[in-house]
Structure 1
Amino acid sequence: MKNNRRDFIKKAGLAGLSFAGGSLFGNMALAKNTDQKDKRNSLSMNVNMDNGDETLIGAYGDWAASMIEGKIPSHSLRGDQWSDVDEWKKAARERYADRIAVPDIGPTPAVSVDKQHSYDGLHIEEISWQLPYGPRSEGILLKPEGSTGQLPGVLAFHDHGGNKYFGKRKITRTSDSRHPLIEEHQAHYYEDVAWANELAKRGYVVLVPDAFPFASRRVLLKDVPEHLRDGLTDDNPENPENIEAYNDWAGSHESVMARSLFSAGTTWPGVFFAEDQQALNILAGRDDVDENRLGCGGLSGGGMRTVFMAGMDSRIKSSVCMGFMTTWKDLVVAKSFTHTWMTYAPILPNELDFPEILGLNLPNATFVQNCNEDGLFTLSEMHVADDILREVYDKAGVSDKYKCSFYPGGHKFDKLMQKDAYAWFDDTLKG
């Protein structure tokens, strides 16, 4: 089996991009791999661009960065024009919602419980719902077996990882049998832990929905014009070689999807938020969930989705953004090349720096987890993002509701980070 894409992602030190988020979130929208392209991408992701004159866009980098560098965005709480926190949050959220152009996708859909069973101390439900467009959305819900009453609820976001064939399965385990690519994924990025399961065991109702367009929400080859299929089909979908081929195709198709969304008058962040909010509505509406104790979190593309969700919905009382925090400047000059199309919202950098989107969730609690050798970001800009969020929370008088930690190693959510994340949720949703 050819593992060029997966091996490349590992060598580049990338984990589960785009969870989060992505990755969505998301690591990259790549065309089909070639040896030369892999080498160029790998070098680009690992190079430290904190110093020197090189930028991703050459001589235009300093000019592009100067549009936002050293300036307080117009809707930043750090600006002198904002003294009333509630007034700022209302105005900033309205502007942010306008910029990401959140589509109206209707009321909360009806939910079907397609399967349910017990596994490893957990009650597991495989659920689905129909949005006004696309195939049925699927999710996995987990809670302690035999639990009674209402528990805190957490929306757990899977990563991107350059892998759109899988979604919810990336961070869950529903039986002793796992797909070999999921075994590899969890071992490499999560230290062989299905973290959504482990969080549920601590006394939470955890919902893991498939993101747009992953797994049940993925674009099927039969639904696109034949000249875009590269000779691929949807046949025998669980075959590892077919999954690898589909993921390569889906990576190159990201730019098509992004341009289509822009042309339709919306953005990928807007679609993410609309669909993830429906999942939150489903979680919050359950009889076994305390709607006043809701959280969300995820790695990479999932960290990105955490930023979007927490920033826009005050029902999120606690969030953990894992491996997706930097500044817009970092993406201007150094790291946009390593990220998915799912990240961007035109014009917004003039009004909010990226970490300030997450800051819109204050006074609720948020925890950012960074890795010192994360090839997706420059370390200096991760620290700048931390400084920005600290200043925002300090000005709002809720500095105790913000935490940021830096861990050794590359892009990941390992057992040490998981332990700290679980403790954060315990303190902020149970304490």
Structure 2
Amino acid sequence: MTWGELKMYSWNGDSLLEQLYNEAIEQHQNHKATVGSDERSRMLKEALQELIGSFAPNATFRPKLLERVELDDYIRERIELSATPGLSFGAYILLPKQAEGALPGVLALHGHGYGSREIVGLLPDGSPDSGVPGIHQHFALELARRGMAVIAPDVIGFGERRLHADLAVNPNAPSSCYRLSTELMMLGKTLTGLRVAESLRAYAYLAGRPEVDKERIGVMGFSGGGLIAYITSILRPSIRATVLTGFTNTFKDSILAVHHCIDNYTPGILRHAELPELIGLIAPRPLFLESGERDPIFPVEGFRRAASAIHEIYESKGASDRLAVDVFPGVHEISGRQAYDWLKETLT
């Protein structure tokens, strides 16, 4: 082999990764050309469910009321639910006081942080947070104050749901994503699959509440909560509207280009589709995409590329008026400057 031939090969893997990514995209395009859009959507939904893995349902656990607090303009309940045997989780319910009739509902899914308390206006110890809110902006509380009933489940791996094994090593461990993700992958499952299973259980509980109109329920997720939200919406077509904030992007521009928590990675998913096409499976139902123009981990260039691709999907289904996009002057955080009211109006 000559030196010229040797130079065609790389001792590093950069070119190989680029080649494999490009081959995957080409395969997606070829598949789109050989099957109808409806058939491809069906196949992608089935693949997504298979890739994240499934968990045995818990048919015997009955929801438990843990706390009920009456505040000036809303009632806050704390309940316990279970989606799979041997594991339960807490969730907050926020019920507006002044609203009349059956309420629109929202499943609110937090991202990395200290759990559902971070989005319902509480500090990690459960006391009221009267200071300036962090990147989650108390968004569940903002939705409730607009007249929507909200359920905010604790996502496993954060706050009170960190693993004892992690806390024994570091009492201040920020999350248990790594241990949960790696052990579940070794079992052919994913942390995303477990989180989605619990999200679906929270949605079902909210839909069964007497105060809530089950035909008018949406979902809003931030960052890692956006990952859970979009899959939950795909798997439950009865979810009427979806808001994804601090999440929408392409795999290429975000989780393959920027260091992310391991819980963002689903083995094998790029064999089937890029992220914009997967999010596009929500179409033609209403969808709102929000991103900060200075978000360092979901870069705005990738967001704009993804939003454009999703717009093409909505346009192909005659539903471009059901897609809304907002790039706000911020970082990796919630804005809500348009999303909150859009969700209220869409669910009304």
TM-score by length of 2: 0.87
Match of 1:365 among 275, 280, 286: 286
CA separation in 1, counterparts of 2:214 and 2:37?
27
Shift, 1:320, TM fit: 0.8
Deviates more, 1:373-382 or 1:288-297: 373-382
Residues 130, 277 of structure 1: alpha-carbon distance in 2 compared, 3 angstrom cutoff: closer
TM-score by length of 1: 0.71
CA separation in 2, counterparts of 1:229 and 1:62?
42
SS in 2 for 1:427: helix
Counterpart check, 1:403 vs 2:324:
yes
Match of residue 167 from structure 1: 115
Counterpart check, 1:63 vs 2:9:
no
CA separation in 2, counterparts of 1:211 and 1:77?
37
Match of residue 50 from structure 2: 98
Asked if 2 retains the 8 angstrom alpha-carbon contact of 1:104 and 1:274, the reply is no
CA separation in 2, counterparts of 1:332 and 1:292?
34
Cα deviations by residue, 1:174-195 (Å, 9 ceiling, x for unpaired): 69x9659x667x53325xx422
Residues 388, 147 of structure 1: alpha-carbon distance in 2 compared, 3 angstrom cutoff: same
CA separation in 1, counterparts of 2:40 and 2:308?
19
For 2:245, the aligned partner's letter is M
Match of residue 219 from structure 1: 163
Q: Structure 1: which 5+ residue stretches go unaligned?
A: 1-57, 233-241
SS in 1 for 2:252: helix
Residues 377, 173 of structure 1: alpha-carbon distance in 2 compared, 3 angstrom cutoff: closer
CA separation in 2, counterparts of 1:131 and 1:373?
37
Match of residue 139 from structure 2: 195
Asked if 2 retains the 8 angstrom alpha-carbon contact of 1:136 and 1:217, the reply is no
Counterpart check, 1:420 vs 2:338:
yes
Asked if 2 retains the 8 angstrom alpha-carbon contact of 1:327 and 1:381, the reply is yes
Shift, 1:350, TM fit: 1.8
SS in 1 for 2:210: coil
RMSD over aligned CA atoms reads 2.7
Match of 1:246 among 163, 166, 173: 173
Residues 348, 395 of structure 1: alpha-carbon distance in 2 compared, 3 angstrom cutoff: same
Shift, 1:308, TM fit: 2.0
> How do residues 350-361 of structure 1 correspond to structure 2 at under 5 angstroms?
350-361=271-282
Asked if 1 retains the 8 angstrom alpha-carbon contact of 2:247 and 2:291, the reply is yes
Counterpart check, 1:342 vs 2:263:
yes
Deviates more, 1:211-220 or 1:273-282: 211-220
What count of residue pairs does the alignment treat as equivalent? 337
> How do residues 250-289 of structure 1 correspond to structure 2 at under 5 angstroms?
250=175, 253-289=176-212
Shift, 1:207, TM fit: 0.4
For 2:342, the aligned partner's letter is W
CA separation in 2, counterparts of 1:94 and 1:342?
21
Asked if 2 retains the 8 angstrom alpha-carbon contact of 1:111 and 1:128, the reply is yes
Shift, 1:65, TM fit: 2.7
Q: Which has the higher contact order (CA 8 A, sep 6+)?
A: 1
Asked if 2 retains the 8 angstrom alpha-carbon contact of 1:137 and 1:216, the reply is no
Cα deviations by residue, 1:305-345 (Å, 9 ceiling, x for unpaired): 2222122221211111010111121246521x1x1111111
SS in 2 for 1:92: helix
Match of residue 229 from structure 1: 168
Shift, 1:104, TM fit: 2.6
Counterpart check, 1:206 vs 2:150:
yes
Residues 167, 134 of structure 1: alpha-carbon distance in 2 compared, 3 angstrom cutoff: farther
